[in-house]
Chain A
Amino acid sequence: MNVTYDIIIVGAGIVGAACADELSRRGMAVAIVDREWIGGGATAAGMGHIVVMDDSEAQFALMRYSQQLWHKLRLELPDDVEYEQTGTIWVAADEEEMAEVRRKRNYYGQRGVPVEELDAQGLKHLEPHLRDALAGGLRVPDDAVLYPPCGARFLMERAQQSGAKLHLGRSVTQIGDGCVRLTDGLEMQAQYIVNAAGTSAGDLTSGLEIRKRKGHLVITDRYARFLRHQLLELGYLKSAHSVTTDSVAFNVQPRRTGQILIGSSRQYGAEHKEVDHEILARMLRRAEEYMPGLRAMSAIRCWTGFRAATRDKLPLIGPWPDDPSLWLATGHEGLGITASLGTARILADQITGAAPEIPIEPYLPSRMMLSQTLKEPANA
């Protein structure tokens, strides 16, 4: 039996769900296929931090655009999505990092993102459980947190209300030339196929290089009002930028339940999903250094997940040059929750021929073809 749609999206993570929502709202006949359930991959493993980042101008543009889309959407989000505008505080440990606070303040400020520079006292006032003798920080009040699996489900339900068809528990063996082949023999046909399969995207599209970047998270029991903002060390920039070595960073998030999510770690070349005790210990030690009060807290679960990383640390959003029917929406590494909404918009704009609200060139998959023989870009 052959089934025909305008678009088939492979992958029901938050990126696939956002694309399904956007495309079906624009009147297209959409189907989504996933081997598991909605949001069971990186969406389930991640923190759910809606954050503006500025590794590059292109990254900033997509993150800011997406952060504002989430802000607009917030009133429609059901309670279980747990959207909370906690804001982010980038924590500076020393004067060197305070210089980065000021650079970031200027950069965000010039681009219309509200920010507040905090001195040591101001930081202590907002987050009294941070250790003493930190230099200060930068508060970004528009940033938020949410619970990603329910966020993805909400977007998927909206897509279904617009007519999208959801096929869960179905594994895809092959995509391309307007056809999606499932393990059970079913073939589905469409004008376009969107590969939104996250870390598996590379298995489905030959020539597409997606690297798995493993992360660990720990969640505590409930400690109401211990933490108010999502906190990240500015040293994060030093560690997260490395594309070769394992790294950890202080990165904690308050959940609505009073639980605290403790991260983060980044590892390349780690294929197994098992908890890596040594990196877990390093990650928690780092967190303890910044917030000594975490030491005595009860950790109730640890887990790991894999981020879908590209070589230039920008996602792949747009047509795949080798196959006119194939589009990509993947490679978001640790930023897919935030960037899902912006990704869906600019993908839908390209497919429907609408004018995108931000420049799309930096995210086009064709850049991967061009740069295949080049080394890491200078800004990575």
Chain B
Amino acid sequence: MASSTPDGFDVLVVGAGPAGMAAAVRAAECGICVGIVDDNAAVGGQIWRKSAEEDVTEDAKSWADCLKARQVTVLGGMHVFDQPEPGILLAESSDNRSVLHYEKLVLATGARERFLPFPGWTLPNVIGAGGLQAMVKCRLPIRGKRVVVAGTGPLLLAVAAYLKAHGAEILKICEQASWLTLLRFATSLLTQPAKIWQGIQLSQQLGGIPFLTSSWVAAAHGDKMLEAVTITSGSETETIDCDYLACGFHLVPNIELPILLGCEISDGFVQVNDLQETNVSGVFCAGEPTGIGGVELALVEGQIAGLAAASRIAEARHLFGKREGFRRFARSLQRAFRLRPELRMLAGPETIVCRCEDVMYAQLCPYTSWRSAKLQTRCGMGPCQGRVCGAATEFLFNWSLDSARPPVFPARVESLVAVRDIKQQDPQKIS
């Protein structure tokens, strides 16, 4: 069954993480009709995901309260999978399908973790760092479990601190970046008191946990599930018994929907002007898809996008200076956590790269492009649509991914037929 909102939205926001919430709140302040749609049932995105036991942070709570106070329509548990024509998005929930009409659109689709293949990475209990945190928030028992945290990026520290606070025994944190680059990164934060304070808090929380730099996972071992991991610094290796490996290689922006809408992409990120508007008129983008920069940058970009979408240009301009500060942080983040070339060598010939279609590393080696590899090996042809292996092969083989096609998320056949109903119905009824 099709359902939709009464009148369509003046501003529709896709993604209810920090950027999307900020955009929706700012746009709604002037009394226009604003909607926000997200895959998850609750707002907050990945970073402010609510846990079963605890309250979310003050920030998250206050933005969520604002959404309510400004009467933003929250459409939870819905994947946006297609734009049949400009101004209309199709979304699907587990039992429903919606036609969402908009005047202006803010894309705040966030990011996902990058996974890189190494021997044993597909064993049960080898989990993304953010993924493991999310599972603990959903009541996965972690107390007393031995966890190795590895990969790259500031997320590792945050996850380690979270897991430790919930009773996990963090055996080691392995960061692939060198201490020198981390030192440079830390120095660059000197202009950002908030970040320094976060850093100090984190290091207190993580006190006593061995933190290794220039160190990465070489293999995960186990018969039916994870039993141990081998970590290496290139010259020295060590094998550690553990229950979980929380492993992520920084973040990959979710740009499939922006690509589908025709937004210009450069170096893997959505290109926007000062007002966060993309080359597609009336379509704005904020947060990680424009450059991985963390929650503070996402909040400012979201606010600018929301204000601009609501034509409050002067107010949007007031935030430009603040945004520039956080963008400097984003740029140093990008530099500091660049993946080292050794990580390209981790996968063995028989290491699975594409989990959906069971494609091994050696099968991919003969190919010169993502498309030829896809066609010949089915890599990336499964239900995740290459979201996992695509980001890996981008790094492993320097392949650039091809264009996005509808549906950008798997959708039921009956939902794809929805376009016909749009044309056949009276626009008043479905708008």
Instruction: Say yes or no: A296 contacts B413, CB within 8 Å.
Output: yes
Q: Which of A237-255 contact B (CB under 8 A)?
A: none
| Bound-state Cα–Cα, A300 to B412, Å | 9
* Residues of chain B contacted by A284 (CB below 8 angstroms): 413, 416-417
Measured CB to CB, the closest approach of chain B to A97, in angstroms, equals: 24
Instruction: Say yes or no: A300 contacts B413, CB within 8 Å.
Output: no
Indicate whether A221 reaches chain B with its CB closer than 8 angstroms. Answer: yes
Instruction: Say yes or no: A275 contacts B410, CB within 8 Å.
Output: no
Q: Which of A265-311 contact B (CB under 8 A)?
A: 275, 277-278, 280-282, 284-285, 287-288, 294-303
Measured CB to CB, the closest approach of chain B to A362, in angstroms, equals: 32
Instruction: Say yes or no: A37 contacts B369, CB within 8 Å.
Output: yes
* Residues of chain A contacted by B367 (CB below 8 angstroms): 37
Q: Looking at the complex, which one of B382, B405, B413, B418 makes contact with A275 (CB distance below 8 Å)?
A: B405
| Bound-state Cα–Cα, A278 to B418, Å | 9
Q: Looking at the complex, which one of B375, B383, B405, B420 makes contact with A221 (CB distance below 8 Å)?
A: B383
Instruction: Say yes or no: B410 contacts A288, CB within 8 Å.
Output: no
Indicate whether B376 reaches chain A with its CB closer than 8 angstroms. Answer: yes
Q: Looking at the complex, which one of B372, B420, B423 makes contact with A40 (CB distance below 8 Å)?
A: B372
Q: Looking at the complex, which one of B376, B385, B405 makes contact with A153 (CB distance below 8 Å)?
A: B376
Instruction: Say yes or no: B405 contacts A295, CB within 8 Å.
Output: no
| Bound-state Cα–Cα, A153 to B378, Å | 14
17 A-B residue pairs with CB within 8 Å: A37-B375, A44-B375, A149-B375, A150-B376, A218-B416, A220-B413, A277-B419, A278-B420, A280-B419, A285-B420, A288-B413, A294-B413, A296-B413, A297-B412, A298-B383, A300-B385, A301-B405
Indicate whether A16 reaches chain B with its CB closer than 8 angstroms. Answer: no
Q: Which of A108-167 contact B (CB under 8 A)?
A: 149-150, 153
Measured CB to CB, the closest approach of chain B to A102, in angstroms, equals: 33
The 10 closest A-B pairs by CB, nearest first: A37-B372, A281-B420, A149-B375, A295-B414, A277-B84, A277-B419, A281-B419, A298-B410, A300-B410, A281-B417
Instruction: Say yes or no: B420 contacts A302, CB within 8 Å.
Output: no
Q: Looking at the complex, which one of B413, B418, B419 makes contact with A218 (CB distance below 8 Å)?
A: B413
Indicate whether A33 reaches chain B with its CB closer than 8 angstroms. Answer: no
Beyond A37-B367, A288-B413, list 15 extra A-B contacts (CB 8 Å). A36-B372, A80-B377, A149-B376, A169-B368, A220-B413, A280-B419, A281-B417, A282-B420, A288-B414, A294-B413, A296-B412, A296-B414, A298-B410, A300-B381, A301-B381
Measured CB to CB, the closest approach of chain B to A299, in angstroms, equals: 5
| Bound-state Cα–Cα, A278 to B417, Å | 8
Q: Looking at the complex, which one of A39, A44, A80, A299 makes contact with B416 (CB distance below 8 Å)?
A: A299
Q: Which of B386-414 contact A (CB under 8 A)?
A: 405-407, 410-414
Indicate whether B223 reaches chain A with its CB closer than 8 angstroms. Answer: no
Measured CB to CB, the closest approach of chain A to B330, in angstroms, equals: 33
| Bound-state Cα–Cα, A266 to B132, Å | 47
Instruction: Say yes or no: A303 contacts B405, CB within 8 Å.
Output: yes
Q: Looking at the complex, which one of B368, B369, B375, B411 makes contact with A298 (CB distance below 8 Å)?
A: B411
Indicate whether A262 reaches chain B with its CB closer than 8 angstroms. Answer: yes
* Residues of chain B contacted by A294 (CB below 8 angstroms): 413
Q: Which residues of B are at the interface with A, using a C-beta cutoff of 8 A?
A: 82, 84-85, 367-369, 371-372, 375-377, 381-383, 385, 405-407, 410-414, 416-420, 423
| Contact A39:B375 (CB < 8 A) given known A275-B406, A277-B84 | yes
| Contact A40:B375 (CB < 8 A) given known A278-B423, A299-B407, A302-B407 | yes
Instruction: Say yes or no: B375 contacts A281, CB within 8 Å.
Output: no
Which residue of chain A is the closest to B423 with respect to CB atoms?
A278
Number of A-B contacts (CB under 8 A): 91
* Residues of chain A contacted by B412 (CB below 8 angstroms): 295-299
Q: Which residues of A are at the interface with B, using a C-beta cutoff of 8 A?
A: 36-40, 44, 80, 149-150, 153, 168-169, 218, 220-221, 262, 275, 277-278, 280-282, 284-285, 287-288, 294-303
* Residues of chain A contacted by B372 (CB below 8 angstroms): 36-38, 40
* Residues of chain B contacted by A150 (CB below 8 angstroms): 376
* Residues of chain B contacted by A36 (CB below 8 angstroms): 371-372
* Residues of chain A contacted by B410 (CB below 8 angstroms): 221, 298-300
Instruction: Say yes or no: B371 contacts A40, CB within 8 Å.
Output: yes
Instruction: Say yes or no: B382 contacts A285, CB within 8 Å.
Output: no
Instruction: Say yes or no: A299 contacts B371, CB within 8 Å.
Output: no
| Bound-state Cα–Cα, A188 to B406, Å | 41
| Bound-state Cα–Cα, A220 to B414, Å | 12
| Bound-state Cα–Cα, A221 to B84, Å | 22
| Bound-state Cα–Cα, A40 to B411, Å | 26
Measured CB to CB, the closest approach of chain A to B324, in angstroms, equals: 37
* Residues of chain A contacted by B382 (CB below 8 angstroms): 300
| Bound-state Cα–Cα, A115 to B412, Å | 35
Measured CB to CB, the closest approach of chain A to B393, in angstroms, equals: 15
User: Which residue, of A150, A168, A277, A300, has the highest number of chain B Cβ atoms within 10 A?
Assistant: A277
| Contact A300:B420 (CB < 8 A) given known A149-B375, A287-B413, A288-B414 | no
* Residues of chain B contacted by A302 (CB below 8 angstroms): 405-407, 416
Which residue of chain B is the closest to A149 with respect to CB atoms?
B375
Instruction: Say yes or no: A278 contacts B419, CB within 8 Å.
Output: yes
| Bound-state Cα–Cα, A297 to B417, Å | 12
| Bound-state Cα–Cα, A339 to B411, Å | 34
* Residues of chain B contacted by A275 (CB below 8 angstroms): 405-406
| Bound-state Cα–Cα, A39 to B377, Å | 13
* Residues of chain B contacted by A285 (CB below 8 angstroms): 417, 420
* Residues of chain A contacted by B376 (CB below 8 angstroms): 38, 80, 149-150, 153
Measured CB to CB, the closest approach of chain A to B429, in angstroms, equals: 18
* Residues of chain A contacted by B371 (CB below 8 angstroms): 36-37, 40
